[in-house]
């Protein structure tokens, strides 16, 4: 079990680079499975979620090379069925396998998807995914350790309406419809920048997809797709995480590769809290300009709202703002578990079942602890913490780095699911820590 001993209370200062977004790259890798020619994806980070998807693709006959500079080549010309036990053994820590369904049904006529892992944020069900696949004509057979899918009559375009603009379910529709026979119309689609980048990739492969107003996406199925050559969209979740780390530690971090366009909602909030930033051609400098930080009222939402993944690191910075901040989490019903450790470190955070601060959401009146009130500023002190999930874990590390005294943080390897070269970056920013394997 990996552990970090952090001696906190020092500002993080320096430069880190972010590469392709975890939440795009892994889907782009699955998209390569739909082609009949090799693809090349650039800026692919070395993170464990990428390794898991690589292993799963390799089990299905895709040849993959991933060089140190982040270029990945994927050759799907010999796609084959994989053994259930092998898929099961490799998929454990990821939710991406559910997106293999459409491509495997097109290529092989069948798919086996094991029970899904990923971070434990609420229930994270897959009902939308299964409904989408049924709409295309897939037959789903639930088995003890996963699901088996087949498409006896082939996959056909459909009219689909999502009850909530789910990122994964929208990707499911895209990856299945592009080679389904006929037209597909999706209403209630998610329109995150990572989805737009996936659409760009699919278009490069030969797909016909139009994104209309009001969350409507139309796809005209084609019989075959080729390969693609693409530089992945940068990881705006990682960029926002370092920005919050700069604010919480009174630091100054230049995030190479970050871009303004996809981060506008975050930048507005960052400025309202009292953080400063400078936009450069090659990245964004985030820093604490001195003076008091201000409390804010925010609500997480689907794009173009404030992303749920930005919430956890920002909450750490909000413990240092002067006054009461309110965060209403409307994407996941149970994403405040990480605040227990912050309270243990001296933060004052109260969690509520009610929808606080703005509009009622679908979690109101359902007993989900999904609103937080943070009262600051509170000095943080070191503590012993176990990393619970990816974003919560990063936040705990930031809190430990901001806190006076020593913190022992265990289960740190979880952070490498989504943050490339995490420890090397901390070192480059002048963090004082020791790592034990
Ligand atoms: N939902 C259902 N049924 C479904 C699918 C989703 O009820 O079949 C619900 C979820 O439980 C959740 C909401 O819909 O309450 C939104 O979930 P969504 O499908 O949008 O999330 P996802 O595709 O599973 C991706 C990212 C998450 C990110 C969300 C929201 C990946 C691999 N994961 O998850 O990223 O928080 O979109 O933007 O792309 C992370 O990076 O740490 C992370 C959790």
Average pLDDT, the chain: 95
Q: Give yes or no for residue 59 having a pLDDT over 70.
A: yes
Whether the pTM exceeds 0.85: the reply is: yes
Is residue 95 lining ligand 1, measured as CB closer than 6 Å?
yes
Q: Where is pLDDT greater, at 436 or 72?
A: 72
Q: How far is the CA of 332 from the centre of ligand 1 (A)?
A: 8
Most confident of 125-129, 236-240, 359-363: 236-240
95-122 in b/e burial notation, b at 16+ Cβ within 10 A?
Answer: bbbbbbbbbbbbbbeebbbbebebbebb
Query: In 197-244, where do the E strands start and end?
Result: 208-212, 216-220, 229-231
Do residues 76 and 65 touch, judged by C-beta distance below 8 A?
no
Residue 23 alpha carbon, nearest atom of ligand 1: 39
Name the residue with the closest Cα to ligand 1, atom 24: 168
Is residue 164 lining ligand 1, measured as CB closer than 6 Å?
yes
Strands 13-17 and 252-256: parallel
List CB contacts of 138: < 8 A, sequence separation 6 or more.
Answer: 101, 105, 149, 150, 151, 155
Name the residue with the closest Cα to ligand 1, atom 18: 166
Q: How far is the CA of 12 from the centre of ligand 1 (A)?
A: 30
Is residue 129 lining ligand 1, measured as CB closer than 6 Å?
yes
- Cα separation, 128 vs 186, in Å, equals 13
What string of H, E and C letters represents the secondary structure of 48-82? HHHHHHHHHHHHCCCEEEECCCCCEEEECCCCCCC
Q: How far is the CA of 331 from the centre of ligand 1 (A)?
A: 8
Residue 412 DSSP symbol: G
Number of Cβ within 10 Å of residue 159's Cβ equals: 10
pLDDT band at residue 123 using 50, 70 and 90 as cut-offs: low
Q: Give yes or no for residue 146 having a pLDDT over 90.
A: no
349-371 in b/e burial notation, b at 16+ Cβ within 10 A?
Answer: bebeeebbbeeebebbeeebbbb
| Confidence at residue 93, expressed as pLDDT on a 0 to 100 scale | 66
Looking at residues 349-358, what average pLDDT do you find?
Answer: 94
| Confidence at residue 89, expressed as pLDDT on a 0 to 100 scale | 82
Task: Delineate the domains of the chain, giving CATH numbers in brackets.
Answer: 3-18+234-436 (3.65.10.10), 22-231 (3.65.10.10)
Name the residue with the closest Cα to ligand 1, atom 6: 166
In this structure, what are the phi and psi dihedrals at residue 209, rounded to the nearest 5 degrees?
Answer: -135, 130
Residue 115 DSSP symbol: P
The answer, yes or no, to whether the previous bond of 377 is cis (omega within 30 of 0) is yes
Residue 237 alpha carbon, nearest atom of ligand 1: 41
Q: Where is pLDDT greater, at 437 or 238?
A: 238
Do residues 168 and 213 touch, judged by C-beta distance below 8 A?
no
Looking at residues 419-437, what average pLDDT do you find?
Answer: 95
Q: Tell me the best of 27, 96, 97, 124 to mutate to test the pocket of ligand 1, counting ligand atoms within 8 Å of each CB and taking the most.
A: 124
| Confidence at residue 115, expressed as pLDDT on a 0 to 100 scale | 76
List CB contacts of 289: < 8 A, sequence separation 6 or more.
Answer: 274, 275, 276
For 296-335, the pLDDT digits (tens) are: 999 999 999 999 999 999 999 999 999 999 999 999 999 9
Query: In 201-244, where do the E strands start and end?
Result: 208-212, 216-220, 229-231
Q: How far is the CA of 185 from the centre of ligand 1 (A)?
A: 21
- Cα separation, 303 vs 265, in Å, equals 9
Q: Which of 101, 119, 355, 361 is catalytic?
A: 119
- Cα separation, 255 vs 125, in Å, equals 34
Looking at residues 325-348, what average pLDDT do you find?
Answer: 97
| Confidence at residue 177, expressed as pLDDT on a 0 to 100 scale | 98
Specify the range with the lowest mean pLDDT, choosing from 7-11, 86-90, 110-114, 265-269.
Answer: 86-90
Q: How far is the CA of 290 from the centre of ligand 1 (A)?
A: 36
Is residue 417 lining ligand 1, measured as CB closer than 6 Å?
no
Q: Tell me the best of 21, 129, 166 to mutate to test the pocket of ligand 1, counting ligand atoms within 8 Å of each CB and taking the most.
A: 166
CA–CA distances in Å: residue 343 to residues 96, 187, 378, 401? 33, 41, 10, 15
- Cα separation, 323 vs 384, in Å, equals 27
| Confidence at residue 160, expressed as pLDDT on a 0 to 100 scale | 98
Is residue 119 lining ligand 1, measured as CB closer than 6 Å?
yes
In this structure, what are the phi and psi dihedrals at residue 385, rounded to the nearest 5 degrees?
Answer: -130, 145
Looking at residues 151-170, what average pLDDT do you find?
Answer: 97
Q: How far is the CA of 17 from the centre of ligand 1 (A)?
A: 25
Q: Give yes or no for residue 118 having a pLDDT over 70.
A: no
Specify the range with the lowest mean pLDDT, choosing from 109-123, 164-178, 245-259.
Answer: 109-123
Residue 124 alpha carbon, nearest atom of ligand 1: 11
Q: Give yes or no for residue 104 having a pLDDT over 80.
A: yes
- Cα separation, 236 vs 435, in Å, equals 27
Q: Tell me the best of 52, 241, 331 to mutate to test the pocket of ligand 1, counting ligand atoms within 8 Å of each CB and taking the most.
A: 331
- Exposure on the CB side of residue 262, measured as CA atoms within 13 A: 22
Name the residue with the closest Cα to ligand 1, atom 17: 166
Q: Give the pair of three-digit tokens for residue 164.
A: 């909530």
% pLDDT > 70, the chain: 97
List CB contacts of 254: < 8 A, sequence separation 6 or more.
Answer: 14, 15, 16, 280, 283, 284, 285, 286
Q: Give yes or no for residue 117 having a pLDDT over 70.
A: no
| Confidence at residue 253, expressed as pLDDT on a 0 to 100 scale | 98
**119 noted as active-site residue:** yes
């Amino acid at each position: 079990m990996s552990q970090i001993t952090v001696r906190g209370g020092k500002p993080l200062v320096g430069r880190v680079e972010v590469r392709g977004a975890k939440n795009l790259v892994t889907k782009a890798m699955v998209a390569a499975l739909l082609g009949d020619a090799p693809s090349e994806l650039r800026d692919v980070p070395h993170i464990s979620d990428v390794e898991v998807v690589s292993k799963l693709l390799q089990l299905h006959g895709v040849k993959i090379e991933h060089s140190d500079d982040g270029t990945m080549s994927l050759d799907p010309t010999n796609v084959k069925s994989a053994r259930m036990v092998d898929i099961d053994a490799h998929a454990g820590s990821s939710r991406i396998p559910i997106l293999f369904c459409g491509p495997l049904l097109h290529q092989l006529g069948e798919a086996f998807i094991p029970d899904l892992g990923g971070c434990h944020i609420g229930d994270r069900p897959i009902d939308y995914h299964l409904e989408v696949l049924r709409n295309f004509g897939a037959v789903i057979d639930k088995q003890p350790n996963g699901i088996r899918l087949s498409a006896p009559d082939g996959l056909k375009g459909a009219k689909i309406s999502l009850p909530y603009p789910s990122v994964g379910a929208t990707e499911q529709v895209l990856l299945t419809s592009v080679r389904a026979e006929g037209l597909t119309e999706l209403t209630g689609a998610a329109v995150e920048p990572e989805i737009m980048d996936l659409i760009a990739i699919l278009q490069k492969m030969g797909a016909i997809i139009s994104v209309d107003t009001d969350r409507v996406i139309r796809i005209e199925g084609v019989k075959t797709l080729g390969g693609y050559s693409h530089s992945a969209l940068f990881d705006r979740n990682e960029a926002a995480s370092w920005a919050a780390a700069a604010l919480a530690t009174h630091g100054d971090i230049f995030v190479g590769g970050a871009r303004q366009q996809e981060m506008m909602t975050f930048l507005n909030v960052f400025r309202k809290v009292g953080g400063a930033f400078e936009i450069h051609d090659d990245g964004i400098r985030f820093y604490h300009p001195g003076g008091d930080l201000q409390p804010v009222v925010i609500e997480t939402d689907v794009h173009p709202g404030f992303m749920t993944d930005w919430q956890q690191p920002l909450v750490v910075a909000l413990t240092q703002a002067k006054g009461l901040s309110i965060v209403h989490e409307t994407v996941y019903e149970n994403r405040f578990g990480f605040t227990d450790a912050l309270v243990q470190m001296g933060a004052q955070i109260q969690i509520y079942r009610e929808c606080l601060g703005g509009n009622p959401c679908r979690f109101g009146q359902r007993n989900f602890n999904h609103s937080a009130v943070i009262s600051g500023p509170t000095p943080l002190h070191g503590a012993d913490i176990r990393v619970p999930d990816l974003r919560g874990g990063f936040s705990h590390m930031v809190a430990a780095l901001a806190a006076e005294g020593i913190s022992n943080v265990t289960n740190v390897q979880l952070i490498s699911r989504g943050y490339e070269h995490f420890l090397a970056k901390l070192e480059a920013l002048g963090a004082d820590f020791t790592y034990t394997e």
